Chains A and B, each alone.
Chain A
C-alpha cells in the first residue's frame, strides 16, 4: 500500500502544479467569476488540462487514456484544490467515464470514451450534488412505453450540469422503487429542462427536470446501484484530495500572514495563542494527508478495506477543511471576511466540498458499518 508517490507520479504532480500555478490559478478563477455569467468555466483551461493528459488518467489506453490510476489523479486534484482550478474533470472523466467503462457496451465505450478523454464530449452524472447516500432516490423514474424507454423526474444541483452534453442517470423503474437502471440522456433531448443553479462556489450547477425524455440504457450484467456506489467512492476520495489541496493552500497563506502582520508592536505569529492553533492545524493536515493518500492507493489496489479507507479520508478531509478554513478567516481578522481576499474563495469552495460526496456524518456511519458497529 504505497503512501509515497513514485517517480512518475511525482513528475505528474510537479508538472501539474507548475502549469496550474501559471495558467489556471485563483486569480484566473476570480477573473472568470467577476466577468462571467456568474458561474465559472473556461474552455481554454479545460482544453489545456486535456492537453496535459489529465482527462485520461482513469481511462484505459485503448480509449486514449493512460490508466495512471487514483494516486496519480489525486495528486492532480490536490493541485486543482490549491489553485482553485475549475474543470469538469471529476464529473465527466472520473464518474461518468468509470460508469461507462464498468457498464457500457464495447460499442458505447468506443463511441463515447475517446471523445470524453479528448474533452470534446462532457458526460455528467445527474446526481444531486454528488450525494452518495441519496443514490437510490425515487425522484426519477423510467417507463417502458410504445415509443421506448422514457425518463421522468428531477435532479437538483447537478455539478457541471450547465456544461453537460449528456447526462448519466441512475433511475428506478416506475412503480418499482427498488429496481434501478443506468441510462444516458442527451442534454439537448426533448423534455430536458435545465436551469442554472447558483452555489457559493460559483461552479456550474444545474437543476434538471426530465419530462418523458428518450434515454439510452446501459445494459450490463453489473448491478447499477453497486457500480454507482463503487464509482462514488472514487468521487469521495478525489474530492478529499481536492480538499486537502484547498486546506494546505489556506494554511500556507495564513502562515504567511502570521509572519507578516504586526499588532501590539509584534508579528501576530509570535503570539502563542495563534502559534498553538496553527500547530494543531498543521497536525490535522498531516493526518488527513495520510488518510487521503491511503484511500487513493486502496482504490488503485482494489483493497478489501477500500470503502472504509475512503470514508475515513472524506470524513477527515471534511473536518480538517472546516477547521482550517474557519481558522484561516479568523486569523486574518477583518480582511478575512472581505471578498477582496482569496481566502474567501477557498472557504466557499471547501464549504461545498464538505457536502459533495458525503458529509462527515454519512462517512462516519459508513466507516463504522464497515467495521461492524
Chain B
C-alpha cells in the first residue's frame, strides 16, 4: 500500500466511525472499567448503543482489526490497524469489545491452532459471542508457572483433567477456558505441558469467586475434577503447551503494557487535576512544588513510554529494530500506571480515599483504579519476573 492509500484509508475510516459510532459510545468510560464490554453468553449490555456498536464493529472485523478476514477479522495490515486505533482515539470511540479472547487466545490460536479450531473459535471471539478465561496459575505455580501440576490423563479419545487453577479472572463469567495441563511428568518441567480448551459447563468444572481489594470478585479459584476434554481440543502437539503458553503471555504483556491506551483520554489530564486542586503561584506554576515535580515526572514518563512504543513500531517498519527493547514494555508500562493512580489519589488529598460510589461516583473511581493498578504489576508475570526476563533475554546476563 502506498502512503496515499493509507491516507485514503484514514479518511474513509474516520468517516465510517463518525457515521457508525453512537454518541453514547464516545463518552469516556469510567476509569474503574465498569463500562467495558466483555461479551459472552452471560454478558448483559448496559445499553442498546453498546450492543449496536459491537455489532457494527464486529461485522467489519474491526474488533480484531489485524486478524485474517477469512476468520472474521478485519484483515488490516499493521499500519492500517494503527490508523484505525488512532482515529478511534481521536474521536473518543470506546473499544467495542475487550477480553481474553481478543487479547490472548485469538492470536495464539491463529499461530498454533489447527484449521478446525480456528474456524470454530475465531469468529465467536470477533463477535464477542464467547467469553474466555485463562487457566494458567495454580496454588503452587505462580511466577514459576512451569511447575504446574494440574494433570491430564490420556484416555484414548479424550483427556481426563484433575487439579486446581487459581486467580482465574472472570472464571465465573466465562464460557470457555484455555488451560495448561500436565500430560507428562517424567522430564524437565517445561516439557510435558499441554494446552487444551474446554467449556466451563463441562461436568466437573466448578468455580469459587474470590473478592479483590476493590470488593469486586474479579477472579476465581477453579476446581477441575475428572473433566473430560476431547482430544480435538488440544492446541498444537501434546507437550507443546509451554511454547504456546509463552507466546500467549507475550500478547498478554503487550496488552497490559499499554492498558491506558485502550481507553480514550480521560476528560481531565493529570496537569489539569493538579492545577485545579493546588492552584498556581504568580508565575503560573502549580503551587505545591512537590506535587508539581511529580506531575512533571509522570508526564515525561508517559510521553517517553508512548514514544518508545511508537519508535518500536517505526523501527520495525524500517527494518532497523532491536527486538530486545520490547521486553521493557510490560514492566515500564505497569509501573508507570501504578505511580500514576497513586498520584491521582494524592492530588485529592484525604478525599482521594473516599469510596462511596453512590454519592461520589467521580471520586470513588480513584481508589478503585489505584487498587486495580496494584494488580497489573503482579498479573501476567510480576515486575520482578519481567526484570529477570530483561536480564536474561535482552542483556544476556548469566543465569544461576
Q: Which chain A residues have a beta carbon within 8 Å of chain B's beta carbons?
A: 2-6, 10, 255, 258-259, 266-267, 269-270, 272, 274-276, 278-280, 282-283, 286-291, 293-294, 312, 315-316, 364, 367-369, 371-373
Contact B328 A282, beta carbon cutoff 8 Å? yes
Contact A290 B395, beta carbon cutoff 8 Å? no
Extra contacts besides A280-B387, A283-B332 (7): CB < 8 Å = A3-B314, A282-B394, A286-B325, A289-B308, A290-B311, A293-B311, A316-B304
Distance to closest chain A CB from B361 (angstroms): 27
CB nearest neighbor in B for A315: B300
Contact B285 A368, beta carbon cutoff 8 Å? yes
| B290 in the interface (beta carbon within 8 A) | no
Task: Kindly identify which residue among A6, A278, A287, A315 contacts B395, using a CB–CB cutoff of 8 Å.
Answer: A278
| B371 in the interface (beta carbon within 8 A) | no
Contact-residue size bin, chain B (C-beta under 8 Å from the other chain) = 35 or more
CA distance A288 to B328 in the complex (A): 13
Contact B388 A6, beta carbon cutoff 8 Å? no
Q: Could you say which of B295, B296, B310 has the most chain A C-beta atoms within 10 Å of its C-beta?
A: B296
Which residues of chain B are within 8 angstroms of A270 by Cβ–Cβ distance? 397-400
- From known contacts A279-B387, A312-B304, infer whether A5 and B325 are also in contact, taking CB-CB under 8 Å: no
- From known contacts A4-B320, A270-B397, infer whether A290 and B307 are also in contact, taking CB-CB under 8 Å: yes
Q: Which chain B residues have a beta carbon within 8 Å of chain A's beta carbons?
A: 271, 274-275, 280, 283-286, 292-293, 295-296, 299-301, 303-305, 307-308, 310-311, 314-315, 317-318, 320-321, 325, 328, 331-332, 384, 386-388, 390-391, 394-400
Distance to closest chain B CB from A288 (angstroms): 7
Main secondary structure of the interface of B (DSSP, over half): helix
Distance to closest chain B CB from A3 (angstroms): 4
Task: Kindly identify which residue among A2, A276, A291 contacts B391, using a CB–CB cutoff of 8 Å.
Answer: A276
Task: Kindly identify which residue among A255, A364, A373 contacts B286, using a CB–CB cutoff of 8 Å.
Answer: A373
CA distance A258 to B391 in the complex (A): 11
A to B contact number (C-beta, < 8 Å): 124
Contact B296 A368, beta carbon cutoff 8 Å? yes
Distance to closest chain B CB from A320 (angstroms): 10
Which residues of chain A are within 8 angstroms of B284 by Cβ–Cβ distance? 369, 372-373
Contact A275 B308, beta carbon cutoff 8 Å? no
Main secondary structure of the interface of A (DSSP, over half): helix
Give me 27 A-to-B residue pairs in the complex whose CB atoms sit less than 8 angstroms apart, sorted by A's number.
A2-B314, A3-B311, A3-B315, A4-B317, A4-B318, A4-B320, A4-B321, A10-B320, A259-B398, A267-B398, A270-B400, A275-B395, A276-B388, A279-B395, A280-B387, A287-B301, A287-B307, A290-B311, A293-B311, A312-B303, A316-B304, A364-B296, A367-B296, A368-B292, A369-B285, A372-B271, A373-B284
Task: Kindly identify which residue among A274, A276, A312, A373 contacts B280, using a CB–CB cutoff of 8 Å.
Answer: A373
Which residues of chain A are within 8 angstroms of B295 by Cβ–Cβ distance? 368, 373
Contact B285 A278, beta carbon cutoff 8 Å? no
CB nearest neighbor in A for B272: A373
Which residues of chain B are within 8 angstroms of A371 by Cβ–Cβ distance? 271, 299
